[in-house]
Structure formats: C-alpha cells, structure tokens
Amino acid sequence: MKLPGPDHPITIAPADARVRVSFAGKVIADTIRALVLKEASYAPVFYIPREDADMSVFSHSEHRTHCPYKGDANHFTLDGSGKSAENAAWSYEQAYPAVREIEGRLAFYPKRIDQIEVLPLPSSS
C-alpha cells in the first residue's frame, strides 16, 4: 500500500454538480452526491453511490485491477437495450484508508459508455 503525497497527490471532494451517466441511450446513474477524485496527472474520476445507479444493468465481471494507492477494484459489465460493455465500471469494495470515501461507489470508463454529463446544481435563491 502506498500513501498519497507530494509525488502522487490524491484529493477527494464532493463534485458540487449533478452527474449523469448514460449507456445504450439510457440514464443508468444520476446523482447530486458524486465525489470527484483527482489523482496526480490523471483525469478526474467521478465516484457515484450505488443507490443512485440502476444496478439492474450491472453484472460483476471476473476482471480485477489493483492500484497501490486505492486497493483492489472489482469491475462490472453493463448490459442494456441489446448493448453490452465489458468492464465498463469499477468499484473499490475495500478501499485503502487514505481513500476510504470512495469505497463501494461506482466509477466509469468514459470510452465504454455513452457519456458522463456534469450539470450545474440548481441555485437555491
């Protein structure tokens, strides 16, 4: 296990936006509770609570990956509307302590889904 630091920074914060994920022409996740993880020079990644996703289109795959900073990730294949995307999403079921906030949340590979929309939150005036 490696710890984030100046040579490999990781920050996690509320996304302060509505995040909507589409696959096969259908919204499969829609939340105002996403977290955004920024890691070193990588593109930011949104982590979405499972309660805000249509889990009926997700199935566990056998694929696993390991990040020395975050832990072991389980992957999901998406199936819907006659379309399938293997290993399109992942989740850290037991994230390392430094990134515990993302544990159990879902993240997506942008090229394996239709889109990730980031929409402004309604103003409370």
Give domain status of residue 1, yes or no. no
Question: Residue 69 falls within a domain, yes or no?
Answer: yes
Share of the chain above pLDDT 90, in %: 95
Judge whether 65 lies within some domain: yes
Torsion angle (degrees, nearest 10) of CA 8, 65, 83, 52: -60
pLDDT in tens, 32-67: 999 999 999 999 999 999 999 999 999 999 999 999
Dihedral of alpha carbons 29, 35, 36, 38, sign: negative
- The answer to whether position 80 is within a domain reads yes
Is the residue at 88 inside a domain? yes
For 99, the domain range is: 10-119
